[in-house]
Amino acid sequence: MSANRIIIAGGSGFIGRALTLDFLARGYEVVILTRSPRTRADAAREVAWDGRTPGEWCQWLESARAVINLTGKNINCPHTPANLRDLIASRENSVKILAETIVRLNVPPTVWVQASATGFYGDTGDRICDETSPVGSNALATICQEWEAAFQTAKLTATRRVILRIGFVLGRDGGALPVLRRITQFFLGGTAGSGKQFISWIHLDDLVRLFGTAVENADYAGTYNAVAPNPVTNAQFMRELRRVLRRPWSPPAPVFGVKLGARLMGSDPALALISSRCVSRRLKHSGFTFQYFNLPEALINLV
């Protein structure tokens, strides 16, 4: 087994694809744990796992450089009681089975980088949250709290642990930006609700660099908010998106319109209406530098 191996659990999604390409380009061996493995054109290997039970995948963790866990049911769904249970279970189960596997290894991975989300802080309103801020009280906060608790309580003594609370990820080929781009191109890019709710965003390239830094820099440990330094309001975000797409002012979508649209798209209105005003004091103190510090530059690059 290789000390140059990166294991990416749940690595077939938007963020996982970008991480795979980056680690391959830097000479790492990449193994992706996924429910539907396939033969790839690149050098990465996909191995079957269900996020709950042991299997062949366990052997690939022996002597690995890092485990990155992105596993979890997509949050972009109606937040019904049943879906909320599934959202929590899919996250908890993957953490628990990884932990149970790692403690049995002769040479455990050097570092485990665990994804979480800025939803940990709940609806922040105008309040600025850093890594020391308390957990929120809504459904998203409960999901993140349970997710992180499973990770924090795992009894791993030889593996460095990092949590990245990820914000609103901006990328060309996944996440919410392609959807927002399409509706804005059709002159529907107005604010959602009051437009005063904050968006804590990060460019995908910066997020990929942050994962790489967390793997390679032994000083990184504990929890970090994975967000750019300058959160913006929904109104500011949509104004900048209209500007780079050369679209005029668009009428705002009232709350009832957001709720109807979310229902039609199989999503949940909370994802557009709650406020997330987060900064990362720990990244600032660590010396991590963002390539995309301000929203206009990020949108120009992507759109």
**The pLDDT of residue 56:** 94
What are the sequence ranges of the domains in the chain? 5-174+200-228
**The pLDDT of residue 3:** 72
Instruction: Determine the Cα–Cα distance for residues 116 and 113; give it in Å rounded to an integer.
Output: 10
Q: Average pLDDT by consecutive 10-residue portion of the chain (303 residues)? A: 85 95 97 94 95 96 98 94 96 97 97 98 97 96 97 95 98 94 93 97 98 98 98 98 95 93 91 96 96 97 94
Instruction: Determine the Cα–Cα distance for residues 46 and 169; give it in Å rounded to an integer.
Output: 24
Please return the burial class of 115, using the count of CB atoms within 10 Å of its CB with bins 0-12, 13-18 and 19+. Answer: buried
Specify the CATH number of the domain 5-174+200-228.
3.40.50.720
**The pLDDT of residue 1:** 45
Per-residue model confidence as pLDDT tens digits over 56-77: 999 999 999 999 999 999 999 9
- In 65-174, the DSSP E strands lie at 66-69, 111-117, 160-166, 168-170
